[in-house]
Amino acid sequence: MTARILHVAVPTPLNKGFDYLATPDTPVQLQPGCRIRVPFGRNDKIGILIEERQHSTIEPARLKPIKAVVEHTPCLSPELMALGQWASVYYHHPVGEVFNVMLPTLLRQGKPAKQDPVLIWRLSSHGMTLEPSALTRAPRQQAMLNLLRLHPEGLSATQLKEHHGDWRQAVNALQQKGLVECLPAASLESRSRAATPSTGPALNPSQQQAVEAVSRHFDEFKVWLLDGITGSGKTEIYLRLIEQVLAQGKQVLVLVPEIGLTPQLLARFRARLSGKISEVHSGLSDQQRLAIWLNAGQGDAQVIVGTRSAVFMPLSDPGLIIVDEEHDGSLKQQDGFRYHARDLAVWRGQRLNIPVVLGSATPSLESLYNALTGRYGSLILEQRAGGATLPRLAVVDARQTPADQPVTRQLLERMQQHLSQGSQVIIFLNRRGYAPVMMCFDCGWTARCERCDAHMTWHQHDRRLRCHHCGAERRAEQACPDCRAESLHTLGSGTERLEDFLQLRFPHEEIVRIDRDATRRKGELEKSLQKARSGRARILIGTQMLAKGHHFPGVTLVGILGVDHGLFSADFRGPEYMAQLVIQVAGRAGRGERPGEVILETHQPEHPLLQRLIRQSYSAFARAALKEREAARLPPYTKLALIRAEAVSPDSALLFLRKLNDALARSSQGVERWGPAPAPMERRAGRYRAQLLLQAEDRKALHNLLRHVHELARQTPEHRKVRWSVDVDPVEMF
């Protein structure tokens, strides 16, 4: 009798599957995708069965038997197995770790693939008819009763905890009195589903065309680039398409950037769609995530809206994938398994034979290129929906403005003007803190991070210096640590200084600042957004956090500060990112009835790409930027991979990459190798970093070269001293 050999993906840094022996009680015809507990090193690990084999390259006598079969029905469908295996090859990342990233934590840990029934508590019929004043002598029970009155559909333990940290006692007491009942949530689903969704506005002709174009090809793979200016009604198009797919009884996967999963978006989805909507984001508990995973796999979740990792959701009957803000950097995982959720979404669409809609007001140059060359279908919306007009964009030369003044005189005058007309104003500055540099004016000393090649940012409000790269912080000294002179000063402006400055200029205005520091405490962000929405605060200062997704109809002026560095970034994508940010921020202006105005302050008013963006459009800018990319042989015209290494000792990373580079040189036909060189910020969080860039005209050559990169790396003695990684299609060049 020949031995049964199980080829298993085990989560380890070794980029291969491992062979094990089946035991006598291993079920016959075990399907790929089942979880299997295997011995590995000194521990057991949970692996995924890739396939059963007749032979192993290792003698059967030396193979170990598996420990147990965790489940007999695969937890990864054939489609997800194929996705994981393909992604492992494409991104040159160990297959076991890829599966590990795909699985919800509880499955990764070997827990059973079933959900504990979620219980909910709601008022009993007796509780509903009770006089509101009946329990005045038990104020906690009274409060709980009031809460449940507001939620006739019932609340889960998690939800109750959110409202009343210590809820159990009150609920138990009410339950004993027969006022509250407890039941499994599943039995209530029909109730929430029966709600009648509201209908949207009648589509305008461009929207109509877009919806028809996609729905004509519902049952085939096609990628559509929905390139529509901010406010042109893209979300409305998604909603119509989703309605149609739901009507066919199929599921929709919607990927959104981290910052895009706002309550506003979800509320709109809920109000309009009749299917069951599940949200997937980093705030979910392990149980919640598993529940959604299982529901999606069984077709119980009909619309799945989630950030990056939702691209791995199982789908039992998929009909459409939508990637909103497809240009957004958060769709790319930046450590470990460095996948791009948009690109994996396209892969899934092809495999599942369904359409994929990529939407953006500022498409990535990659997607634009695919649309221009005809690989993707192109849907263009050039006008704002519902009659609002695009704001006017103007450049203001900031070169004459004194360094300690965060905004130009021209912008102050425009602010005055808009405020006096009763409008709101947004000032965007993507730099938090008070000032990015603290300097001794006597000797030139500057406050630097001890662990990074970077300045520390001065935070005036709590009087601390913070490194925005590694999080290190310390109290500032009174005098210069070098020359003891008491002449420490700050240079440049962050949002804190901007706030102080504007408050002095506009003493009667309430200002809200929305950045990570100002919204750290729970509930703070909602409070600030509320002040902004209600119009009470008329000056809104913000970083990136304010740039996307929010809709403030009262804003008519947007000022954009401090984006010049994008034009000269060490990253060739700098100008693209800058343009996307400018357009997204500009899109916050004039979304209501009154027309908007956008002022961009710059020290580079003549820069040709900036001129194109301002005088023409994002699309004119993007076409010019694509020409530059083509001339410089940069993506999308060529393919890149970046090998990064870091180590605590100064030269190890560079040395490792040199050895690796030499080893790669032997099979590097068709691939240019740049470096190895120190990273633009060489030291970060106490580690020295270096990188080696690989560039090829076609993907095949690049992949041929990278195929052996793990093996070659392990053959260098230096690999033990470094952390290293491969990044295929990197979106950040550091």
- Are the beta carbons of 734 and 659 closer than 8 angstroms? no
**Does residue 480 bind Zn ion (CB under 5 A)?**
yes
Of 253, 440, 653, 696, the one binding Zn ion by CB under 5 A: 440
CA–CA distance, 362 with 327 (Å, rounded to integer): 7
Residue 488 C-beta: closest distance to Zn ion, Å? 8
Subset of 182-201 contacting ligand ADP (CB under 6 A) = 201
- Are the beta carbons of 161 and 195 closer than 8 angstroms? no
532 binds, among Zn ion, ligand ADP, none (CB under 5 to 8 A by kind): none
Q: Binders of Zn ion: how many residues, by CB under 5 A?
A: 15
Of 236 and 597, CB closest to ligand ADP:
236
Residue 79 C-beta: closest distance to ligand ADP, Å? 29
- Are the beta carbons of 223 and 368 closer than 8 angstroms? no
Of 259, 266, 372, 470, the one binding Zn ion by CB under 5 A: 470
Of 309 and 362, CB closest to ligand ADP:
362
**Does residue 443 bind Zn ion (CB under 5 A)?**
yes
719 binds, among Zn ion, ligand ADP, none (CB under 5 to 8 A by kind): none
Helix (H) or strand (E) segment spanning residue 255: strand 251-255
The single-letter DSSP state of residue 173 is H
Both structure tokens of 503: 């408050």
- Burial class for 667, CB neighbours closer than 10 Å (0-12, 13-18, 19+): middle
**Does residue 234 bind ligand ADP (CB under 6 A)?**
yes
Of 272 and 340, CB closest to ligand ADP:
272
Instruction: Give the CA-trace dihedral at 658, 663, 669, 674, to 10 degrees.
Output: -10
Residue 266 C-beta: closest distance to ligand ADP, Å? 13
Residue that is written with structure tokens 């109750």 in the block: 160
Of 304, 425, 452, 626, the one binding Zn ion by CB under 5 A: 452
- Are the beta carbons of 19 and 63 closer than 8 angstroms? yes
Residue 145 C-beta: closest distance to ligand ADP, Å? 37
Of 332 and 689, CB closest to Zn ion:
689
When CB distances to ligand ADP are compared, the closest residue is: 386
Single-letter amino acid, residue 325 = E
Of 232, 424, 556, 580, the one binding ligand ADP by CB under 6 A: 232
**Does residue 362 bind ligand ADP (CB under 6 A)?**
no
Residue 636 C-beta: closest distance to ligand ADP, Å? 24
The single-letter DSSP state of residue 63 is P
Of 44, 300, 397, 442, the one binding Zn ion by CB under 5 A: 442
CA–CA distance, 377 with 373 (Å, rounded to integer): 10
Residue 252 C-beta: closest distance to ligand ADP, Å? 16
Of 386 and 717, CB closest to ligand ADP:
386
Residue 367 C-beta: closest distance to ligand ADP, Å? 16
Residue 575 C-beta: closest distance to ligand ADP, Å? 23
**Does residue 203 bind ligand ADP (CB under 6 A)?**
yes
CB under 8 A, 24+ apart: contacts of 145-150: 145/174, 145/179, 148/121, 148/122, 148/123, 148/180, 149/123
CA–CA distance, 721 with 647 (Å, rounded to integer): 6
Output the CA–CA distances (angstroms, integers) from residue 207 to 241, 603, 730, in the order listed. 11, 39, 33
Residue that is written with structure tokens 């083509």 in the block: 630
**Does residue 236 bind ligand ADP (CB under 6 A)?**
yes
CA–CA distance, 406 with 501 (Å, rounded to integer): 7
Residue 272 C-beta: closest distance to ligand ADP, Å? 10
234 binds, among Zn ion, ligand ADP, none (CB under 5 to 8 A by kind): ligand ADP
Span interacting with Zn ion, options 296-304, 419-427, 459-467, 609-617, rule CB under 5 A: 459-467
Beta strands in 374-525 (DSSP E): 377-381, 392-397, 424-429, 437-440, 457-459, 464-466, 473-475, 488-491, 511-514
**Does residue 472 bind Zn ion (CB under 5 A)?**
yes
**Does residue 228 bind ligand ADP (CB under 6 A)?**
yes
* Cβ-proximal residues to 638 (8 Å cutoff; 6+ apart), any chain: 695, 696, 697
Of 178 and 386, CB closest to ligand ADP:
386
Span interacting with ligand ADP, options 140-148, 228-236, 507-515, 699-707, rule CB under 6 A: 228-236
CA–CA distance, 571 with 554 (Å, rounded to integer): 36
**Does residue 12 bind ligand ADP (CB under 6 A)?**
no
Of 327, 342, 348, 469, the one binding Zn ion by CB under 5 A: 469
Both structure tokens of 498: 């901007």
Helix (H) or strand (E) segment spanning residue 122: strand 119-123
451 binds, among Zn ion, ligand ADP, none (CB under 5 to 8 A by kind): Zn ion
Output the CA–CA distances (angstroms, integers) from residue 104 to 282, 303, 310, in the order listed. 12, 18, 10
- Are the beta carbons of 594 and 556 closer than 8 angstroms? yes
- Are the beta carbons of 567 and 609 closer than 8 angstroms? yes
Residue 687 C-beta: closest distance to Zn ion, Å? 11
Of 231, 319, 562, 596, the one binding ligand ADP by CB under 6 A: 231
**Does residue 386 bind ligand ADP (CB under 6 A)?**
yes
**Does residue 479 bind Zn ion (CB under 5 A)?**
no
- Are the beta carbons of 566 and 399 closer than 8 angstroms? no
CA–CA distance, 333 with 727 (Å, rounded to integer): 10
Output the CA–CA distances (angstroms, integers) from residue 371 to 380, 567, 585, 623, in the order listed. 11, 25, 25, 12
**Does residue 264 bind ligand ADP (CB under 6 A)?**
no
CA angle 436/438/439 to nearest 5° reads 135
Of 31, 159, 204, 668, the one binding ligand ADP by CB under 6 A: 204
Of 229, 467, 645, 664, the one binding Zn ion by CB under 5 A: 467
483 binds, among Zn ion, ligand ADP, none (CB under 5 to 8 A by kind): Zn ion
Q: Binders of ligand ADP: how many residues, by CB under 6 A?
A: 15
What does the binding site for Zn ion look like in residue numbers (CB under 5 A)? 440, 442-443, 445, 449, 451-452, 467, 469-470, 472, 480, 482-483, 485
What does the binding site for ligand ADP look like in residue numbers (CB under 6 A)? 201-204, 207, 228, 230-236, 385-386
